[in-house]
Structure 1
Amino acid sequence: MTSTNRSSPGGVGSGRLSRWTSGEGRAKTLRTKLLEEFQLCATNTSKHQVAMDDIDVEDNEEEACSPKASVEAERTLREGRYRVVRLVGHGTFGEVLKCREGSDLVAVKRVFLQKAVRSKESCYANTLDHAMREAATLRTVGEESDHVVGIRDAWHSDSVLSLALEYCSSDLRRVMDKAPLALAREPYLKRVMLDLLSGLGACHRNGIIHRDVKPSNCLVSSRGKVKMGDFGQATMKRYYEEEAKEEEDGACPTGAMTHAVSTRWYRAPELLYGSRCYDEKVDVWSLGMTLAELVRGGEPFVKGESDIDQMAKVFRTFGTPNEETWPGIANLPDYGKIIFDDFDAPPLSEHFSHQVPPSLVDFMSKFLCLNPAERWSAEELSSHGYFGEEPLACEPEDIEELLEDLDLVH
């Protein structure tokens, strides 16, 4: 199978992409690895060669493209595998297009390399980092779970890098905005959580840490399946395990992973304390916060105004940790820099305005342990007794019908 980057004669490492890997130290090493993963992704996901000139605009009055999307698509995407339906969103360095591949819908994410380079190099690098991370991680998890957004294709020219992803019509944030308590009903809640735990479990089995689990990144397909999406902050543990082997004691290398990941309200306590040697349990905490938000009808469970305020509110909700409740906490980089009041944790059920079944409270508590060693894994959570109690999880078709009722199938 041939890589799709034929519009870049020097290969994936040429031109602006090679500039992205320039630099020194760990950042250069990581970007080089991501670039290698992208090359494999471009080779292994493509059913046939696709260059930037192989895409055309769909002529469909019912789903007309916006003027911006039409002009851009006519200029750079011509006659071939994908037909542009409409522009979904755009920013300084890229855009997302809803396209058709035969009868299937796909989302084509495009990073404008020329615009990024002309602007600010650090922003360009971050934008490209996210696209490369998404390609690398989705290639790794492959087709193991139907609850991770699939990658269909990847290619680039010297000016645009593109990913073709499975199209999902909505996400949990949009559903809650339309109908705050619709997914709090137990049959729906159980279906959503089973789907997300399946997707997250597949990621974790493949050594992927998502690092940005939140409602807007939990996507919902038009057929009612809930999927993990947006892997722009994801990383693969093997990159850092390789470095750890080079350390004399085999420990996680200092500064191996950044703690500046995950949206604040969903950020795990170890990240708030500056940990750089965390694991997939940070995703479990974030999914627990998402679960609590679903139960609360779209209101974030712990909503800090800053990182310090977030920590204070987390401790007020779950109790202030110490060496007895969280062995090793004193070794975290930012522990002790700020002294918090010594809070005792009230019962979790007291944080909800309506009565929550005890089994759901217990289920939620397995996500939201301050000590990451005490959090259950995604696989363990999938087998929690909560799912065996009546009412049972609804079917994906029920989620699909809900999306249609809320006019969220676009």
Structure 2
Amino acid sequence: MEHPLPKSWSIHTRPEIVAKYEILERVGSGAYSDVYRARRLSDNLIVALKEVHDYQSAFREIDALQLLQNCPNIVVLHEYFWREDEDAVLVLEFLRTDLAAVISDAKKKEGGVRVGEVKRWMLQILCGLDACHRNMIVHRDLKPGNLLVSDDGVLKLADFGQARILMEPGFDGDNDDQQLPVEQNTGSQANETPLDVVPDAHSLPDQGFNKQVVEDMDREEYLRQLVELKAKRHAMDENDKETNTIDGYSSCLATGTISDIDDDTHRSSYSYNAEEGGHDTNGALTSCVGTRWFRAPELLYGSTDYGLEIDLWSLGCIFSELLTLDPLFPGISDIDQLGRIISVLGNLTEEVWPSCSKLPDYKMISFAKIENPTGLEACLPNRSADEISIVKRLVCYNPANRATAMELLNDKYFNEEPLPLPISELHVPLEDSPGEWNEYDDMGSDSDFGDFGHFKVETTGSGFSMQFS
């Protein structure tokens, strides 16, 4: 169903855009962006025009996609438009559906997603994620709705509005004197060479994945590009510091004092986009990122010192959902989310994750001791030992123990019968329902504690703590 085109929106009055693109319909709308299906006049190519109303989100997405260009499992940024006092408009390839639709469609028929299909979907996700992590890009909002799928079965990571390019430990780009001006590009084509691109899953032999050696970019050039990108973001943060929403608390709700940003499992990050106010001089991250059902426990406990591993936790949740067709931890709030995780994995202690007690909100929230956690095996009935093992290697408390994308690409699971199906044999739903383009209903606020059962609040020297039973 086509959405009526509003006549007063800026995208329709920008001559540099309408001269190159015919805007056909609006396919998604959210607080931070609007997305249109459009036709490129030069060759009739159908594209997505993403008008981003938040400059930080726009810069993050452009920076990440420029570094990841030419990776077959990353959505293509054709060009972008950005002028002073105008929203950025990103011209992206248009992909009609997503992995959320694949899962939803599979629930309607017997058999679910075949093992060979699961393996091929996972190989494509892993190739895209490995390209991100080789470039030190943490996506921060991996979920089925942000994994877009083409009509011929190619899966691509999308919606990099929350992505951040991380610096190596001990290397602080903020100390560099270089400051880049705010970009005001019109139709600027991404032209940077990707630092490291692994072969796409659909280009790999159908009999499994064979590791290919990738030549690393010169380290000096690698660091130079990271410095430039971080300097640019830092300059923008300083210019707009007064208008940022200051993240005065270390997590979305963990302290129980503020309501969570409304989000659900398949809502795209442009409608759930936490401002990263309150940066320190080291460019501290915010814990209020990602969609709750796929959010790593370190984020739920308020960590601002996390790394690429938060994407690996999300990947484990996605893999589990492909296997069972149901979300692994469908929490209705941050507290409920933690409770569900603990009921399955057991209590979070120093024994399972050394230094976990240093998480900002660890001492503020406690749960009754779980004597007999259900375990991930109970969440994955009738699944193979190899499948359960992979989920366990991703969905574990200690981030250092989570398997990397490259490690999983070489796992024997993908080389054993049943083998990954060719991409041409993947089932792609007919309906148009890409989560990255659409807005979904709100799940409600974390401020309602009536759903959480009994809990006790105690005053402490630094505030208060909450214990949930």
> TM > 0.5 between the two?
yes
Pick from 35, 38, 50: which aligns with 1:109? 50
Could you list the per-position Cα deviations for residues 32-52 of structure 1 after superposition, in whole angstroms to 9, with x for gaps in the alignment?
xxxxxxxxxxxxxxxxxxxxx
Q: 1:337 to 1:407 in 2, by over 3 A?
A: closer
Provide the rounded CA distance (Å) in 1 between the counterparts of 2:47 and 2:169: 32
Number of the residue aligned with 1:68: 5
Provide the rounded CA distance (Å) in 1 between the counterparts of 2:305 and 2:420: 36
**Which amino acid counterpart does residue 393 of structure 1 have in structure 2?**
P
Provide the rounded CA distance (Å) in 2 between the counterparts of 1:91 and 1:255: 27
| Residue 173 of structure 2 corresponds to residue 173 of structure 1 | no
Q: 1:381 to 1:92 in 2, by over 3 A?
A: closer
| SS of equivalent residue, structure 2 residue 321 | helix
Contact 2:293–2:327 at 8 Å: present in 1 too?
A: yes
The Cα of 1:131 is off from its aligned counterpart by 1.7
Could you list the per-position Cα deviations for residues 28-69 of structure 1 after superposition, in whole angstroms to 9, with x for gaps in the alignment?
xxxxxxxxxxxxxxxxxxxxxxxxxxxxxxxxxxxx975416
Pick from 112, 118, 124: which aligns with 1:195? 124
Number of the residue aligned with 1:150: 76
Contact 2:116–2:418 at 8 Å: present in 1 too?
A: yes
What value does the CA root-mean-square deviation take over the aligned residues? Answer: 2.8
Pick from 269, 281, 290: which aligns with 2:309? 281
Number of the residue aligned with 2:444: none
1:2-401 to 2 correspondences below 5 Å: 66-68=3-5, 75-76=13-14, 80-91=19-30, 94-101=33-40, 102-111=43-52, 127-143=54-70, 145-157=71-83, 158-180=85-107, 184-238=113-167, 242-243=171-172, 256-297=284-325, 299-343=326-370, 344-352=372-380, 354-399=381-426, 401=427
The Cα of 1:306 is off from its aligned counterpart by 1.6
Provide the rounded CA distance (Å) in 2 between the counterparts of 1:141 and 1:390: 32
The Cα of 1:80 is off from its aligned counterpart by 3.7
Q: 1:103 to 1:325 in 2, by over 3 A?
A: same
The Cα of 1:103 is off from its aligned counterpart by 4.5
Unaligned runs of 5+ in 2: 176-279, 438-469
Contact 1:259–1:275 at 8 Å: present in 2 too?
A: yes
Q: 1:340 to 1:79 in 2, by over 3 A?
A: closer
Contact 1:89–1:96 at 8 Å: present in 2 too?
A: yes
| SS of equivalent residue, structure 2 residue 350 | coil
Unaligned runs of 5+ in 1: 1-63, 113-126, 247-251
The Cα of 1:362 is off from its aligned counterpart by 1.0
The Cα of 1:154 is off from its aligned counterpart by 1.0
Length-normalised TM-score, structure 2: 0.63
Provide the rounded CA distance (Å) in 1 between the counterparts of 2:143 and 2:8: 34
Provide the rounded CA distance (Å) in 2 between the counterparts of 1:386 and 1:142: 29
Contact 1:183–1:189 at 8 Å: present in 2 too?
A: no
Contact 2:174–2:282 at 8 Å: present in 1 too?
A: no
| SS of equivalent residue, structure 2 residue 366 | coil
Q: 1:75 to 1:303 in 2, by over 3 A?
A: same
Number of the residue aligned with 1:25: none
Q: 1:347 to 1:161 in 2, by over 3 A?
A: closer
Provide the rounded CA distance (Å) in 2 between the counterparts of 1:88 and 1:173: 17
| SS of equivalent residue, structure 1 residue 184 | coil
Contact 2:5–2:25 at 8 Å: present in 1 too?
A: no
Could you list the per-position Cα deviations for residues 243-286 of structure 1 after superposition, in whole angstroms to 9, with x for gaps in the alignment?
3886xxxxx97771111111111110111111111110100001
Provide the rounded CA distance (Å) in 1 between the counterparts of 2:88 and 2:174: 33
| SS of equivalent residue, structure 1 residue 68 | coil
The Cα of 1:70 is off from its aligned counterpart by 7.4
Could you list the per-position Cα deviations for residues 293-343 of structure 1 after superposition, in whole angstroms to 9, with x for gaps in the alignment?
12221x211122221221111011111121111111111111121222232
Provide the rounded CA distance (Å) in 2 between the counterparts of 1:350 and 1:79: 54
Contact 2:151–2:428 at 8 Å: present in 1 too?
A: no
Number of the residue aligned with 1:48: none
**Which amino acid counterpart does residue 203 of structure 1 have in structure 2?**
C
Q: 1:95 to 1:239 in 2, by over 3 A?
A: farther
Contact 1:269–1:370 at 8 Å: present in 2 too?
A: yes
Q: 1:371 to 1:311 in 2, by over 3 A?
A: same
Q: 1:140 to 1:90 in 2, by over 3 A?
A: same
Provide the rounded CA distance (Å) in 2 between the counterparts of 1:357 and 1:208: 32
Provide the rounded CA distance (Å) in 1 between the counterparts of 2:382 and 2:38: 44
Number of the residue aligned with 2:252: none
**Which amino acid counterpart does residue 162 of structure 2 have in structure 1?**
Q
Provide the rounded CA distance (Å) in 1 between the counterparts of 2:93 and 2:314: 23
Contact 2:4–2:26 at 8 Å: present in 1 too?
A: no
